[in-house]
Structure formats: structure tokens, C-alpha cells
Structure 1
Amino acid sequence: MSVLLHPGYFLNIANFVAIANNNVCWEVNDNYQKQTFRNRSYISADVGKHMLNIPIKHVGKDKGKQKYKDVRVENDYAWQRQHWRTLETAYRTSAFFEFYEDEIAPFYEKKHNFLLDLNLETTALICDCLQIDMPQEKTTTFEKEPKDYIDGRFLISSKNKIDFKQENYFQVFNDRNGFIENCSILDLLFNEGTNALTYLQNHNIAFKNA
């Protein structure tokens, strides 16, 4: 049975543990919700846990709830340049930043109209780096309680506490901040490189309806 996941911005390690160890179906028919990893990601920086946030175009309350697939990225603000500079500052000295730089950097030179498309592209990019297949299955309707999937959609919330025990790996600012758990997959990739997939495969996530 496939795991149902929300696409997110360079998803965190918990989500990629699910991707690396399961067949995945993408939830693309839900309403957009704030304070989730749909438009934010966390990295380990010199100041500690640091958020990268994608600005979006908000619609008026009179228009009701907005579908995730209809959410547009606010490109009047040069967030791409800021995010890439932040990643360079945080990971330039990491073991594998230069190894993946030429694959990741072009993403930040493009403009994307829709957040969902942007997020699916980040996941495809990471899957390519990990040398695994990008999941292609997508939902056709929204189900609050899916019967044919294991529900992993809770992993998109930045508020939820999840049952996920993570082994430490080396992070650039370990000596300053200690180990920061469940960062963006970029943190694992830049620090562990070709060992990242094995790391993901050696972890597991507890799903409520598995």
C-alpha cells in the first residue's frame, strides 16, 4: 500500500525516509494550510535552526479556502537569491556541497508560478541526487480518511510531533549548536552525500493507519 504525502519545499528528512522506503502517492487535491512545510524548510546554520520561507500570493478571505495546487509564488521578492546565498553560507564548508552544487544551483535561477509545481520539482531534484525514482502517482480527489493509502500527510505540518528517532550525523555547526534533528533533506545531502540514501533506508516512520 502506498504512503500518501504532501509535496513540500525541499522536504525534511522524515518525509524522505517515507519516500526512500515506500511507494508514494502525492496529495494534490487538498486546501492550502499555513505553518506547514509546503512553503518552508529548516536548515542547520551558524545561528542554529534557520527557516527558509517561500513567499506566496495571498487571496482575500472573501474568496474562501484556496486549493494547494492554485497557490502562486510571490516572485516580486528575490527569495531565490536569498535562499541560495543562505545555503552557500551554511554549507560551503560541508563535505558534499561542491559535489551537488551544480545540480541544485540552477533551481534557484528559475521562477516558478505555482508552489505545488515548485515543490514537486525540488523532490524530483533530490530523488535524482539520491539516484531513486521520483514518485509519479497523484491523487484525483481529496479523502479526509483514505482507505487505499497509508496516511503520511501529517508529516507536512511544522507543528506536529512525530514518532521519529533519528541517528546523529555530522553537521557543519555541530560544535556550536549540537545536532539539529529533522532538517531539510539538503542538510543530509550536503553533509552525508552518497551515504544519504543508506541513512534514509536505515530509518523508519510510524504511520497511524499503517
Structure 2
Amino acid sequence: MGARYTVLAAHQPAYLPWCGFFSRLLEMEAYVALDHVQFSERGRQHRNQVRGPASGLPVRLTVPVRHSFGQSLTEVRTADQAWPRRHWRTLTQAYGRAPYWTLYADRLRAVYERPWTHLVDLNLSLTRLLLHALDLPARVVRSSELAPRSSGTGMLVDLCRLRGADTLLVGTGALGYLDGALLREHRIQVQVATYTHPPYGADLRGWAPNLSVLDLLMHEGPRARGVLAAGARTRVWEPSVEAVTL
């Protein structure tokens, strides 16, 4: 059956995820990519931000996609093959002079030189590259291969069962929809992960919060993992207490 893990970290695969996403995986052995859930247009599933000009705003990178309403992430296809050149040009302009560009550029370029037909395959390829660059041990497990039942909190409960987990690690955004009674019924504890950006890099011109973790890597290199750890916090969620304030 393979190894089982006490804590389940599950999240929709994003394009070039931000630091907070990776800060949740610092001590995780596996990350469950929720690729069977419905695609959300104009979200981080196919767009993210990188550093812009020193005096300007962050630059948004968006992967153009073709999709139908209700499609799962596994079904969403990229819309053309011109976007990789555009994105690579933007990344080169943003980080070509960054201290650690040469350390990661070849591996990153190899991703952008491949032809991609499905968004989720692109996202997970980049996520694996970034996990390795950050020296994080988490391996990627696709939820579509686990085939959980139900949706919402019920789906997360089922994933915990399938993975042998008794603890669910979530971000603060999940607290608005989690069914605390259902989680208590199945004796699943919830840990809430938060991330606060500590200052990093010698040059803060053009820096902004919530940029892709690429920004951290390009400016801190092998020290990036330590920066993630410095900004990461977790706490236990008590739904009977916190539900009043949500």
C-alpha cells in the first residue's frame, strides 16, 4: 500500500505558486494536488505574479486556456503555444540579473521549451521543479488517481482516509467552508497554516507581497528554504470557537 502520512496537505495545483503554498510543505512527505476539482477561471490555477520594474507594479503571467463550464482541472487545455515564449521573455527581464538566475535558469527554460497541452501537467511540472529547488521533500500525489468521493469537506475527509491521515493542514481561506462537525465526527484535527513575508534579498526594488516563489529563489537561492521557515506558522483550529467569528 505504500507509506502513510499523519498530516494531509491538499491544494489545487497553481501556476508558479507563491511562498505561502510552499511554506506549508516544509515538513511534508507528500502534497496531494487536487486536480480532479473544478477549474476556476481567473485564479491562481493559471496565473500568478512576478517582480515588475523597480518603480512599477508586479507583472501578471497568465496561461491562456480552453475550457468549458464545470470542467475539472485535468480536462483544461492550454489555448496556444505562443505563451511559453512570452512568459520566458518576461521571466528573463524580471530575473536575468538576479543573483541566482544562472543557478535555476537552465532547468526552468527546459520547462518552457516543452509543448504543453494540459494546464495541470504544466503546473505540476513546475511545482516539482520548485520543490526540488527549495530542497523540500514532498512528492506530488494527484487526487484524480486517489479518486475520492463526495466534495467539499467530505472530499477532504475521504482523502484523509485514503492517505491514512488524522490531521488536515489548510490555509486560512479554507476556514470559511470547512464543516467542523463532519471533521469532528471523523476525528480529524485541523491545523491552519499562515505565512508572513519576511524581508529577503539585497535589492527590494520592485518587490511586493504574494509574488511567485520564483522571486524568492532568484534572490536567495539555497537560503530560500530558511526564509520560508521564518515566515511560516501553524495553529490548531477549534471550529466550535472560531465559527462565531468567521
TM range (shorter): 0.7 to 0.9
1:150 aligns with 2:169: yes
In structure 1, stretches of 5+ residues that fail to align are 156-161
Higher Cα Rg: structure 1 or 2?
2
| Paired residues of 2:23 and 2:195 also in contact (CA < 8 A) | no
Amino acid paired to 1:137: V
Mapped partners of 2:235, 2:64: distance in 1 = 30
Q: TM-score, normalised by structure 1?
A: 0.83
Equivalent in 103, 107, 110 of residue 107 of structure 2: 103
1:200 aligns with 2:228: yes
Alpha-carbon spacing, 1:124–1:153, altered in 2? closer, same or farther (3 Å): farther
Match of 1:27 in 2: 34
1:72 aligns with 2:71: no
Alpha-carbon spacing, 1:57–1:171, altered in 2? closer, same or farther (3 Å): farther
Mapped partners of 1:171, 1:36: distance in 2 = 30
In structure 2, stretches of 5+ residues that fail to align are 1-6, 161-167, 175-192, 239-246
Identity %: 22
How far did residue 163 of structure 1 move?
4.8
Amino acid paired to 1:91: Y
How far did residue 29 of structure 1 move?
1.6
Mapped partners of 1:16, 1:56: distance in 2 = 25
Match of 1:159 in 2: none
How far did residue 166 of structure 1 move?
1.2
Report the structure, 1 or 2, having the larger strand content. Answer: 2
Q: Deviations over 1:21-45 (max 9, x none)?
A: 3342221220001121110010111
Matches within 5 A, 1:158-169: 163-169=194-200
How far did residue 114 of structure 1 move?
0.8
Match of 2:201 in 1: 170
Q: TM-score, normalised by structure 2?
A: 0.72
| Paired residues of 1:152 and 1:207 also in contact (CA < 8 A) | no
Q: Deviations over 1:172-203 (max 9, x none)?
A: 5x34x4x4112101101111101011111222
Q: Deviations over 1:34-67 (max 9, x none)?
A: 12111001011103211000000133xxxx4111
Alpha-carbon spacing, 1:31–1:208, altered in 2? closer, same or farther (3 Å): farther
| Paired residues of 1:31 and 1:66 also in contact (CA < 8 A) | yes
Alpha-carbon spacing, 1:153–1:69, altered in 2? closer, same or farther (3 Å): farther
Q: Which has the higher contact order (CA 8 A, sep 6+)?
A: 1
